[in-house]
Amino acid sequence: MQKRALIVDDEPATCELIGKILHSAGMAALTVTRSTEAPGLLNEGKFDVVFLDLHMASPDGIELAHFMRSSKFNRVTPIILISDDQRPSAVSIGFAAGANFFIYKPIDKDRLKKLLQATQGNMEHEQRRTRRIPLRSAVRLKFGDDEIEGETIDVSMSGLLVRAPLTASLGSSVRVSLQLTPRGKPVMGVGSVVRLLDGNQMGIQLDQLPLAESERLQEFLLPMILDA
């Protein structure tokens, strides 16, 4: 049976571009430019992937993502969030609503193909969305008056598990400088401590990543997600 995709975006040109890429990948694409039509379609049957524009007239992409995660047919369907929002918090809001991946306008065809491949694996939804990749990378953390060096245990697109000589308290705001490669520029952002574990380990949720930093982290992790 041919795989189906739903594209919800109030810009017809964006729908057309994504639709062409999906057709070239052998998928059937249903597009709607009025988001009010989307809940009915999502309740009628299962899609293999759904593209949601972040900013639309209500229901917007965040509202539709929440709707999907409580729906009957598409509760675990991969969501690719389409965004032109430059605010660092936008991606975090999308992940919290249930998005798996994100792509920015103007749409990059090669990047979209990689994301599409990643959504079609056999991993369960929660594993895909917050897929933790075992990774030992240096990370610098700053909270309060303390600035420390630590090492990641695993990293996902929405957070990281860190081992450090000192841990912050739950809920603390932490400035993160993540060295993904030895000679590369670190990914910089702001997170919050969401769990503490034995052995000086703490889970940090990435709350604010600038646009360029979010894209770099996603591009770095995608090949490992595809191989997992």
Q: What is the rounded distance in angstroms from the CA atom of residue 15 to the CA atom of residue 37?
A: 15
Tell me where in the chain the CATH 2.40.10.220 domain(s) lie: 133-227
Give the CATH H-level superfamily of domain 133-227: predicted glycosyltransferase like domains (2.40.10.220)
Residue 209, C-beta contacts closer than 8 angstroms, at least 6 positions apart: 88, 91, 92, 187, 189, 217
Over residues 83-97, the mean pLDDT reads 79
* Amino acid in position 222: L
Best CATH choice for the domain 4-129 from the list 3.40.50.2300, 3.30.70.20, 3.40.50.720, 3.40.920.10? 3.40.50.2300
* pLDDT of 154 over the 50 cut: yes
Tell me where in the chain the CATH 3.40.50.2300 domain(s) lie: 4-129
Place of tokens 């697109």: 157
- Integer Rg of the chain from CA: 18
Over residues 168-172, the mean pLDDT reads 91
Residues linked to residue 155 through DSSP beta bridges, in sequence order = 133, 160
Q: Where are the alpha helices (DSSP H) in the chain?
A: 12-24, 38-44, 61-69, 89-97, 109-119, 125-129, 211-227
* pLDDT of 209 over the 90 cut: no
Q: What pLDDT is recorded for position 101?
A: 87
Q: What pLDDT is recorded for position 91?
A: 76
Provide long-range contacts, Cβ within 8 A and 24+ apart, for 32-38: 32/6, 32/7, 32/8, 33/9, 34/10, 35/8, 35/10, 35/59, 35/60, 35/64, 38/6, 38/8, 38/64
- Give the pairing of strands 146-156 and 159-163: antiparallel
DSSP letter at 99?
Answer: -
pLDDT digits (tens, 9 = 90+) for 10-44: 999 999 999 999 999 889 999 999 999 999 999 98
Query: What integer best gives the mean pLDDT of the chain?
Result: 87
